[in-house]
Amino acid sequence: MREIFYWQALNEALREEMKRDEHVFIMGEDVGPYGGAYGVTRGLYKEFGDERVRDTAISEAAIAGAAAGAAMTGMRPVAEIMSIDFSTIAMDQLVNIAAKNRYMFGGKTTVPMVMRTQGGTGRGVAGHHSQSLEAWFVHVPGLYVIMPSTSYDAKGLLKTAIRDDNPVIFIEHKMLYMTKGNVPEEEYTIPLGRADIKRKGNDVTVVAYSRMVLLALEAAGELEKEGISLEVIDVRTLKPLDMDMILDSVRKTNRVIIVSEACKTGGVAGEIAAQIAEKGFDYLDAPIIRVAAADVPIPMSPVLEKAAVPSVEKIIEAVKKVIS
């Protein structure tokens, strides 16, 4: 199977869906001739023209509002907010319009829009460009939230998101764009709400998503040398969440660690931990451990940034604590 970059997988998904359905179009800042801040839309402007690949004004509220309006009138917009940090400006349109209108109109309208955005740390670009705000969107009824970790998942899930009749927040990690993975050339999609076991193991379940999956897999490789077996589950979609797969794994290993790059307080890791405690408490032989970011604005200093967020070393430390 061929190997392609994460950004290429997303680009292929967009191209294929635009060819499949003339109602699909792209909008956002610098998505046109420039090809997007991370290259995801490169070549699409030349192929599909300015009617279907639209550069917008620098207004996240306008991007989200226009996308919701277009979706309600029969189009399938894939809009981009250049960084999840700027979604703060678009929250009214996303939370009070896109997420609710299908319910407010009694199902007489749908809002089939995808909001692509980028989050996470790793580039030393400080607190306004490094946040992980996925829990905000998970909290909102009516929104789906996707955070793929691999090229294969990114392509399959984006295609599914574009075809869905509900608004989807599709969050890409800025440090994953240049990672490579196996992606088939034939058509495929991945259902929402289905997690994936990235590595089978017996001693400890590690639940992660986005870039943290790669760190968990690296930690698993290191711990294997010491005879410790990790099962790494990539949830892929935070909402809907595949709790069945998580609980099945916890039933087998009896120990669980949840890894999230977001701040620990009020994060998705806490929600997953709560559901495990509610539905699978009897499976546990040790307390649930969360490995998450410190409750601080992300520093610009690379040393301080690394100290603030999860690392392979922190995951290994948590594993050894949970099995001690």
Please give the positions annotated as active site. Answer: 60, 129
Supply 40's token pair. 């995801």
The torsion angles phi and psi of 76, rounded to 5 degrees, stand at -125, 80
Place of tokens 């699909």: 24
Query: How many Cβ atoms sit within 10 Å of the Cβ of residue 314?
Result: 16
Burial 85-112 (b: 16+ CB within 10 A, else e): bbbeebbebbbebbbbbbeeeeeeebbb
- H/E segment holding residue 68: helix 60-72
Position 212: which residue type? M
- H/E segment holding residue 281: none
Burial 214-228 (b: 16+ CB within 10 A, else e): bbbbebbeebeeeeb
